[in-house]
Amino acid sequence: MLGNIAVGLATSLVGGVLVWLWERGKRARVANGKAAFFGVRPGETCLIVLGDKHDAPGTSPRSDVRATVELAMLAAELGCDVELESGSYRGSNGGRTEFCVGGPLGGANLRTGGHLAAYLPGVTIHPYGTGPDSVALAVGGRRYLFDHDRQEYALVAKFTPTEAGRPVLLVCGQSSLANQAAIHFLRREYAQAAALLESVTRFCLLLKVSDIGTYGYHRTAIERDVTREAFTRP
């Protein structure tokens, strides 16, 4: 009888260890998948480049600040430190993964404008104006109009500059709320995004934020994978 008890305890112990190892492996796979999507490695330092308000140089929109907090939390989850720079930052991101947040209109984030010109020639952002094309995003022969506080869009692109060793993740929304929505969504649904992409090394996704008057930045979805169009000169 004692032998049966010992066998039972040993079986339970082995089963418990196997479950623990499986759960540990699962957590590691999830963490590795998230790190690969965002292009970071544990122990590294990430660079966050934050733009200004388009009409108030030297100050950042509240939603962009909240987006930066989300990025800092993401970096902490993945075991990374962060450094913060303004949109006027010049130079290579070098060995740091860069998160560049905010659109270039009105000089809000000059670095975003530079990234778009250098690496995303298929993307056009229409300037502020009184017509329907004001702040519209154009890519792949389609225009995505800016319906302020109702329905807005954000581009999220990842690429590695030729002079850098780590990638840039560019978040370019039609408003600071769209920037926050994009980061909030991808931090939680990166696996859904990764499943749609041919590669997580280089991509460009268009996200749609809808029903803003009711749900704020929480109702966000992937509109299209525009990788091919965004990185191709028209």
Q: How many separate domains does the chain show? A: 1
Q: Is residue 113 part of a domain?
A: yes
Q: What number is the average pLDDT over the span 72-93?
A: 93
Q: Give the burial class of 58: count Cβ atoms within 10 A of its Cβ; 0-12 exposed, 13-18 middle, 19 or more buried.
A: exposed
Q: Distance (Å, rounded) from C-alpha 20 to C-alpha 11?
A: 14
Residue 105 DSSP code: G
In a domain, 10, yes or no: no
30 domain-assigned: no
Examine residue 119 and state whether it is found in any structural domain, yes or no: yes
**What distance lies between CA 154 and its chain's CA centroid?**
10
Residue spans of beta strands (DSSP E) within the chain: 45-50, 81-86, 97-101, 123-125, 137-139, 142-144, 152-159, 168-173, 203-209, 220-225
Q: Could you read off the pLDDT of 170-224 as tens digits, one per residue?
A: 999 999 999 999 999 999 999 999 999 999 999 999 999 999 999 999 999 999 9
As a whole number, mean pLDDT of residues 50-66 equals 78
Residue 132 belongs to a domain with what CATH number?
3.30.379.10
